[in-house]
Structure 1
Amino acid sequence: MAVLNLLLCSANAYDGDINYWIDWIGQLQKRGFAGLDANYPPVYMFWLWLVARFHESLQLVPENGLLLRSLVTAPVALAHVLALLLAHHCLNKTRADDRTWQQVMALLALNPAILMNGPVWGQVDMIFSLFLVLSLYALIEARYLVLVMPVLCIALLTKFQAICVAPAVAPLLWHHRKSRRLWLGLLPAALAAGLLLLPYLLANSLGSMFRQTYIQASSLYPYATYHANNLWQLAGLDTRPDNLYLLDLAVSPTGWRVLLTPKHLGIALFGLWSLWLFISGLRRRDASLHWRNAILSALGFFLLLPGMHERYLFPAVSIALIAASRFSAFRTAALWLSVLCFANMCFVLHPSGGALPYLFAALTLGLAVRLMVGKPAAFNAASALLARLPLTPWWILAIAIWALTISWQVRLRLPDHEGWLDATRIPGRTYSQAWGDLQTGSSVDSRMLVVAGQRHARGFGTHAESVITIPVPPGAERFSTQAGLDDETSGGEVSFFIRLDGRTLWSSGRLAAGAGAVSADIDVRGGHSLQLVVDPLGSNANDHADWLSPRFRIAR
């Protein structure tokens, strides 16, 4: 396993996240924990502090390479090995046969989601996920209860996302409320927390750490979804603001309409999901049910809440893998969750997935329902009959969701009730730009579209020099848009042009950063190809240009 992890570290798949580790290691080299500007809790930052000391002792400058990637992901490889040992222990306890032992251990050792997330991607989700499954094992199996509180504490101090299993953990804590061993664990938990927080306290940066990692981090990505193939991906809201009024996609609704935004609707849905898991966990003490609830809790966290990332399915994968080592019924779920999580990360590396992200989102929802209802025979006699056919109820549900998804995507490409058609939804678009990739619904840096302090829900985020070519839809009479430089950078200067079949019909003139957006409205009757052009006017440094609310007026 160590050799495999080391080999995959050379893949260098996503340098953007590795650069965060380099920056934080550099900060820790210069000033330690004082004034540390990082949004990760203490546990992993301690490891980066050791990496910083290692580089310092050898007079090395942290840089993206095999050495740094290996050091950064070393705790991930260790967590992977420990997860294998836990699975081995569970398999021995259940007296699994050789075939089951080989299948489960192979799925865990060569799991595509774990290998992509850690050594390839450079992420550390495996670390806090290990602490989660250790605490769940102790609670569900009623063994080593004295370790539950300290392990849960360490999980939360590794990544705040550990709260994803709270609806499954709460009823287990209630069941063991009379156990002295459980509450004796509060003392080592307090001791562990004190030791981990002490360097921040001595550096007078404890308050700053909590703000960055537990408060600001929760609103760092105010999107319905951030490349996560979940409910909001199905709704076509990837990298769209989480405060959209879903009935007409307006931003920042007031009054009761705020309840119908991804932010509030997602929280409400997860609240109902959590309530069901909590009640079902209170009613029964069956170990299999509690493992299932833990998987569903982490899965619902990913599926329903806004602001999820592509990797946030990972805790459900880790829990399902250990559950599969205890109960064979979870092996299929562990396999599918691993594949879906792996696919999520692949779509970010290769975002031109077409309709595939929506299919995977539908499959993820189908898997959640399949786990929730248990065996197919639990539906009714018809479901029991279908269970003998290749199309199980789970697949039927997935196909139904897929059909609804397609219909939703088609509806988004139709004009609204006033005859306006969102240009970002028109297929056949092509582009070229000097830096980065064209973004829809977000800036070129994948942030919310903001020009002169005004937030916008629709539009293209590009970088000068750029040309976006859009086919003029049949029946189009007018094209309307706004244009300006995004607030995410400063100092840029550009000029915007709109061309129809090669003829320039509109120009913004010279626009500098901080200026408000300018509006354009042109006649496109008889046109075939519309081009949105951004001229850098010399240097293109900081030229993050936005085309806001681009739309065609369609004749009725």
Structure 2
Amino acid sequence: MARARAFRDRDFVALLIGTALLYVACVPLMNGDVRNYLIPWTHYLLDHGRFAAFGDNFSEYAPPYLYLLALGSWTAPVIGVVPAIKLVSIVGTIVLSVAMYALLATRLTRRQALSGAALTLIAPTAVANGPVWGQCDALYTSCAILAVAAFIRQRPALAMMAVGAALSFKLQGIFIAPLVLAMLLAGRARWWTLAIIPATYVVAMLPAWLAGRPAIDLALLYLRQGHHYHDLARSVPNVWQILRALVTIPYPVGVAIGLLAAAGATIAVAWRTRRHLLQPEDVVLVALLGAIVVPYLLPKMHNRYFFMADLLAGAYVFLRPTTRAFWIVRLVTIGSLLSYATFLLHLTGGAFVGAFAMTAGLVLTWREVRERLPDGRGVTPLAEAAHFKGSCPQFIKE
């Protein structure tokens, strides 16, 4: 880790060259999502004039990703449709690396932050998700990581804008909710800033609306996505993968229990950690706990939905390189990779085994929170006021 946090110039060169070769080797790889969804969507954009196509409901994904796919499609006549699709994913991974630099730079030196950003390019699930799979989870995760960095720098309005951008790409941006709520409860962000999130979403949907897509369709986009399938778990390493192998749970009952459990966990994490948001690594730890526990408890999750947790675990071990932090990033990454393998490699039982690794990672993360961020019982009102005064003077003034 000492070497990784202080790359020399030749280390950067070697890593970037190796990354470029790795990405190029991944471009021809095919899978069911590319074949059945991404290629037809790209052809639809090409056949319907790109901008005009935004007015049609031809894709399950939100319009902001389709905007980028349309831009990437300009290269299709030269490099081919599949490389054009993968190009969008690779650019998203590079943006993720930049976001990681912005986060790590809140605590580490410029050289250390650059080292972490460079290593993000070859993080196992970053490579598997983007260059291999051709997916776009790096886009909403980049926005979420930028939101964490903005919260650390005490720029809550910018953080809320980043959260809104994350939600504009995918609903999975909601996994940052425990940190957002903790910041609100701590007075580190005003409650009115929540309005920035839907405002950002509206701005992101404007091109599609101008192209002719109904506003009600754009407003209910994620609600309708929730009706596409009726599985409590779909190759995801969470608790529902384990439970459905042990007992039969009716779908409506499981959905209700999962939603209530995730909402309760969000509130509990925010309330438990609201007094511990001064140090950058502690803010990242709260974000990491939320990014694990929310998709762990929610039903109807997919195998890629711990992607944000994978990257935040990597950021945390870079900021606080302890033995437990190393085990957290190992377990979370292994859990995700095993679930990826169920789709990419048709590995039977990968997600089920991965669920136990993710459970262990969640337990260790919770133990890290308990030890690093004491619950504050016995803290006097004056001491608590002093904490808030130091972190957000405007809170005391109001």
The answer to whether the superposition gives a TM-score over 0.5 is: yes
Question: Does residue 75 in structure 1 map to residue 85 in structure 2?
Answer: no
Matched, 1:16 2:42: no
Partner of 1:203: 212
**Equivalent position SS for 1:157:** helix
How many equivalent pairs are there? Answer: 347
The CA distance in 2 between the partners of 1:335 and 1:321, in whole Å, is: 9
CA contact (8 A) 1:5 1:119 kept: yes
Q: Tell me the SS of whatever aligns to 2:64.
A: helix
Give the structure 2 partner of residue 42 of structure 1: 63
Residue number among 105, 108, 124 corresponding to 1:112 in the alignment: 124
| 1:423 matched residue in structure 2 | none
The answer as to whether partners of 1:2 and 1:77 remain within 8 angstroms in 2 is no
Structure with more of its chain in helix, by fraction: 2
- Give matches, 1:221-370, under 5 Å: 221-237=229-245, 249=248, 251=250, 261-287=253-279, 288-329=281-322, 330-354=325-349, 357-370=351-364
Instruction: For 1:304 and 1:192, locate their aligned partners in 2 and report how far apart those are by CA, in whole Å.
Output: 25
**Residue 5 to residue 335, structure 1, CA distance change in 2 (3 Å):** same
Q: CA deviation at 1:319?
A: 2.0
Deviations 1:101-156 (A, max 9, x none): 798456523211111111111111011101000011111x1244442232222111
Tell me by how many angstroms 1:208 deviates: 2.4
What code does the residue aligned with 1:36 have?
N
Residues 324 and 331, structure 1, Cα contact 8 Å, conserved in 2: yes
Answer with 1 or 2: which has the greater Rg: 1
User: What is the CA–CA distance in structure 1 between the aligned matches of 2:103 and 2:174, rounded to whole Å?
Assistant: 24
1:6 counterpart (11, 17, 24): 24
1:233 corresponds to which letter in structure 2?
Q
Q: Aligned to 1:365, what secondary structure does the other structure show?
A: helix
Cross-structure match for 2:160: 149
Change (3 A) 1:342 1:166: same
CA displacement at 1:294 relative to structure 2: 1.2
- Alignment RMSD (CA, Å): 3.4
Counterpart for residue 161 of structure 1: 172
Identity fraction in percent: 19
Which protein, 1 or 2, shows the higher relative CO under an 8 Å CA cutoff with sep ≥ 6? 2
- In 1, are the aligned partners of 2:154 and 2:188 still within 8 Å (CA)? no
Aligned residue identity for 2:82: R
CA drift at 1:296? 1.6
What is the TM-score with the length of structure 2 in the denominator?
Answer: 0.75
- Counterpart AA for 2:241: Q
Is the alpha carbon distance of 1:201 and 1:92 closer, same or farther for their aligned partners in structure 2, counting shifts above 3 Å?
Answer: closer
Match of 1:337, as an amino acid?
V
Corresponding residue number in structure 2 for 1:448: none
The answer to whether the 8 A contact 2:54-2:63 is kept is no
Task: State the match for 2:384 in structure 1.
Answer: none
Q: Distance in 1 between matches of 2:242 and 2:204?
A: 44
Q: Where does structure 2 lack aligned partners over 5 or more consecutive residues? A: 1-18, 373-398
Contact 1:117 1:125 in 2 (8 A): yes
Equivalence for 2:379: none
Structure-to-structure mapping, 1:481-520, within 5 angstroms: none
Shift of the 349–83 alpha-carbon distance from structure 1 to 2, 3 Å rule, reads closer
Contact 2:182 2:270 in 1 (8 A): yes
Counterpart of 2:359 in 1: which secondary structure? Answer: helix
Give me the whole-angstrom Cα distance separating, in 1, the residues matched to 2:104 and 2:73.
39
Aligned residue for 1:229, secondary structure, equals coil
Question: Unaligned stretches of 5+ in structure 1?
Answer: 61-65, 239-245, 253-257, 379-556
